[in-house]
Amino acid sequence: MARLATAIQDAKAAADAAGKDTLVLHAGDQFTGTVWDEVYTSQGIQIAPGFLEELGVQAFTVGNHEFDSGPAVLAEFIRNATFPVISCNLDTSQEPELDGLVQPYTILELPRSGVKVGVVGLTTVDTPETSSPGPNVRFLPYNETLPGCVADAKADGAQIIVALTHIGFPDDQLLAADPSAADLDLIVGGHSHTLLYGTPPPVGKQQVGSMAPPILTSPPTNESSDVLGPYPTLILAADGNKTIPIVQALYLGVLQASWDPVEGQLTASGSPLLLGGANSTNPVAEDPEVASRVESLTGPIDQLYATTVGNSTVLLDGERGDVRGEETNLGDLTCDALLWHVANKTSLMAAFPDTPAVCVYSGGSIRASILAGKVTAGQINDVEPFGDWLVVKLINGSVLDAALNSGLEGWTGDEDAAGRFPQVGGLRYAFDPSRPTDSRLVAAQVQLPDGTAAPLGQLDGADMLLVTNNFLAGGGDFYTMVGDAPTVLDASTPITQILTAYFQQFSPITTTGDGRIVNCNLTASAPLCAAGAAAPPAAAAPAPSPTSAAGPRTSCAAAALLVYMFMLVFNIYL
C-alpha cells in the first residue's frame, strides 16, 4: 500500500512535468483474499476507502468479491468512498441496501486538456455463485447493457470511453471483438489475475507476450509467471476499422496513451509495475505517511502471524496454477483434515456407520502455499481467507460422478483455469482433459468404511457423505448438483479452525502427493486410466452456463490490498 502511494505519486509528477493528464482506476476486488479482510472488512470495519482516497482513485468498478460479506458490507464501503463505484451490468434496484449506490458509469474531466473520459464498469456475471450478493441483485449480460451505458456516457459529454471491467481477460478479449464494444477506446480489466507483458505485435497478428523479468535480485528466485499476452493486447473491433487495447491491472498497471479528437486513439504502450522492496528488481520506497497508517493497523495481524500452530517439513503447495489443475499436497491435507475432523470431532460417523465419507474441495478456495518450517495462524488464514466453514451433505454416487465431471470441466492446465478443479479425499480419480469438457472423468474409486475401495460406477445409488465447505455445498463453482442435496451437518465450524487443529495434532506435517488424482494424458499407464479406457465416457449432466448459474469463485482477485490498481497517462493532441 505504501509503495503504491509512492509509485502513483511519482507517475503523476512525471506526467505533470511532461504536460500530460492522468487517471487512477481500480478494477475491483478490494475485498477478500488476505488476513486483513478477515480481521477488518468481514467484521464491518472499513479501512479501504480512506487508503484508496489517499492513493487518488477516481473510479472503482465492482468485483465479485465485493459481495463476499453480503450487500450491506458493500453498501458501507460505498458510503465511505469519495470516488464513484460503478458497474453498468448490475441491477440493484431490488436490493434495498444497494439501491442507488452503484453508478453505471462516471465522467472524469482531464484537468489539463479538459477532455472528458467516460469510465464504464462491468462486473462478472458469475458473481451470484462466486460470492454472496443475495437474491435481489441481478447481473446482466455485458453485450446487452454496455451499448446503452456507453451511449448515455457520450450523451453526458464523454469523448473517450474506457471500460473498467472485472470480467477476466478471456471475456475482455471476446467483448472487444463484439459489436457491442464498437465505441470503446480501451479496456482496463481485472478478475483473472492475468499477467500481460511485452510489446504487442500489430493488431490482427497473434498477440504473444514476452517473458517478464524476475522479481528478486538475491537470492535467485525460481518463480514462474505465465504471460498470456502483450501489454497492451490489441483486438480488432467488430467493424474491422478500430483497434481496442486491453490491459490487465495486475500489480500496478501503467499505460501511456495518446489521443486525437479527430483520429481517435493514436498509441498505447506500457507495462505492469512491480512494487518491490530493497531486494526486488524494481525497488520502490514506501510513502512514510501511508506506511505509518498501515503500521497502526497491524497489531491484530501481527498477533496471528506470531501464533505458531505447528510445522511442516515440506512446502505445502497452494499455488494458483497447481491447485486448479492437479493434485497438490495442500489440497490433500485440506481434505484429509476435514475428514479427520468429521470422524473424530463429531458424532456423524456414528450416525452413518456404513456410509463412506468423501471430500470434494474447489482448488480455488485454497489461496496460498505454506513454506516448510513453522506454521502460523496467519498463514492458515492466507490459505483460507474466505471465512468458509464445514458442511456435510448426503449424496449418492451419481451426484459425486456429476460433481467431479463438473469440477473437471474448468480444467485448462494453466493459471487461467477456473477454481472449480476438485481436490479430494476419501477417493481417487483419473481424468482425461482431451475428452469432451463435460465428461473428463475416466474412473474413480471410493474408500469404504471397511478400508476397501469400490469403483464409483458401482455406487450410483449408494449413499455417501460429502465433506466440503459452505461455498461448494451451496452450489458454488458450478457444483449445483450438490446444492440440492440434504445437509446432515452444518455446525459453522471454520475451515481455518479445523486446519489449525490438524496442524496441532499431526505436526510435523510430511504430506506429499499420494497419486489420488491422475491426469491420464500424462500417466496413461496408471491403473485408473487403464480401468476407464475400456469403456467410453458417459455423458455427464452439463453444468449451467456462466451467465445463468454457478461460477468459478477463483477467477477472482485474491488480494485485499490492491491487486487491480491502474494508472492511465494521457497525452492529448488538441
Residues 228 and 333 occupy one common structural domain? no
Residues 467 and 565 occupy one common structural domain? no
Q: Tell me the per-residue pLDDT of 149-176, one tens digit each, with 9 for 90 and over.
A: 999 999 999 999 999 999 999 999 999 9
Does residue 551 lie within any of the structural domains?
Answer: no
Residue 558 and residue 35: Cα distance in Å, rounded?
11
The number of domains in the chain is: 2
Residue 439 and residue 214: Cα distance in Å, rounded?
39
> Are 87 and 61 in contact, with CB atoms under 8 Å apart?
yes
Residues 398 and 258 occupy one common structural domain? no
Does residue 504 lie within any of the structural domains?
Answer: yes
Tell me what the mean pLDDT of segment 81-109 comes to: 98
Note the pLDDT of residue 549: 33
Residue 510 and residue 329: Cα distance in Å, rounded?
9
Q: Quick one: which H or E segment has residue 454?
A: strand 453-455
Residues 529 and 568 occupy one common structural domain? no
Residue 235 and residue 173: Cα distance in Å, rounded?
7
Residues 292 and 406 occupy one common structural domain? no
Residues 328 and 229 occupy one common structural domain? no
Q: Across the chain, what does the average pLDDT equal?
A: 89
> Are 524 and 328 in contact, with CB atoms under 8 Å apart?
no
| CATH number of the CATH domain containing 106 | 3.60.21.10
Note the pLDDT of residue 555: 33
* DSSP code string of 143-159: HHHHHHHHHHHHHTT-S
Note the pLDDT of residue 562: 36
pLDDT tier at 122, thresholds 50, 70, 90: very high
Does residue 413 lie within any of the structural domains?
Answer: yes
Note the pLDDT of residue 574: 53
Beta-strand ranges (E) seen in 28-172 are 59-61, 85-86, 90-91, 105-109, 116-123, 138-139, 160-166
Residue 181 and residue 197: Cα distance in Å, rounded?
24
Note the pLDDT of residue 569: 82
Residue 230 and residue 198: Cα distance in Å, rounded?
5
User: Which residue from 132, 148, 177 is spatially nearest to 140, judged by alpha carbons?
Assistant: 148
**258: left (phi > 0), else alpha (psi -120 to 50), else beta?**
beta
User: Which residue from 257, 61, 23 is spatially nearest to 146, judged by alpha carbons?
Assistant: 61
Residues 284 and 316 occupy one common structural domain? no
Bridge partners, 235 (sequence order): 244
> Are 446 and 456 in contact, with CB atoms under 8 Å apart?
yes
What count of other Cβ atoms lies within 10 Å of the Cβ of residue 482? 25
pLDDT tier at 573, thresholds 50, 70, 90: low
Does residue 447 lie within any of the structural domains?
Answer: yes
For residue 287, give every residue at least 6 positions away whose Cβ sits within 8 Å of its Cβ, in sequence order, or none: 2, 3, 5, 6, 9
Quick one: what percent of the chain has pLDDT higher than 70? 92
Residue 14 and residue 434: Cα distance in Å, rounded?
50
Residues 292 and 440 occupy one common structural domain? no
Task: State the SS3 of 413-429.
Answer: CCCCCCCCCEEEECEEE
Q: Tell me the per-residue pLDDT of 187-211, one tens digit each, with 9 for 90 and over.
A: 999 988 788 999 999 999 999 999 8
Q: Residue 453: what residue type?
A: A
Q: Tell me the per-residue pLDDT of 329-352, one tens digit each, with 9 for 90 and over.
A: 999 999 999 999 999 999 899 999
Does residue 301 lie within any of the structural domains?
Answer: no
Does residue 67 lie within any of the structural domains?
Answer: yes
Note the pLDDT of residue 225: 65
> Are 221 and 160 in contact, with CB atoms under 8 Å apart?
no
| CATH number of the CATH domain containing 451 | 3.90.780.10
Residue 10 and residue 252: Cα distance in Å, rounded?
13
CA distances from 362 to 280, 331, 406, 470, 551 (A): 33, 9, 11, 11, 12
Residues 154 and 270 occupy one common structural domain? yes
> Are 389 and 348 in contact, with CB atoms under 8 Å apart?
no
Residue 96 and residue 77: Cα distance in Å, rounded?
15
Residues 49 and 90 occupy one common structural domain? yes
Residues 342 and 200 occupy one common structural domain? no
Residue 374 and residue 178: Cα distance in Å, rounded?
51
122 or 483, higher pLDDT:
122
User: Which residue from 140, 214, 128, 207 is spatially nearest to 169, judged by alpha carbons?
Assistant: 207
Does residue 562 lie within any of the structural domains?
Answer: yes
CA distances from 361 to 233, 328, 465, 496 (A): 34, 12, 13, 14
pLDDT at 423 over 60: yes
Q: What is the DSSP letter of 283?
A: B
Q: Tell me the per-residue pLDDT of 341-385, one tens digit each, with 9 for 90 and over.
A: 999 999 899 999 999 999 999 999 999 999 999 999 999 999 998
pLDDT at 548 over 50: no
Q: Tell me the per-residue pLDDT of 441-473, one tens digit each, with 9 for 90 and over.
A: 999 999 999 999 999 999 999 999 999 999 899
Q: Residue 401: what residue type?
A: D
pLDDT at 554 over 50: no
Does residue 303 lie within any of the structural domains?
Answer: no
Residues 95 and 176 occupy one common structural domain? yes
* DSSP code string of 160-221: EEEEEEES-HHHHHHHHTSGGGTT-SEEEE-SS--B--SPPPPTTS-----PPPPSBSSS--
Note the pLDDT of residue 33: 61
CA 450, 456, 460, 463 torsion-angle sign: positive
User: Which residue from 572, 571, 573 is spatially nearest to 256, judged by alpha carbons?
Assistant: 571
Residue 563 and residue 96: Cα distance in Å, rounded?
30
pLDDT tier at 263, thresholds 50, 70, 90: confident
Helix pair 48-55, 288-295: axis angle to 10 deg: 180
Q: Tell me the per-residue pLDDT of 269-295, one tens digit each, with 9 for 90 and over.
A: 999 988 888 888 888 999 999 999 999
Q: Domain limits at 369? A: 309-543
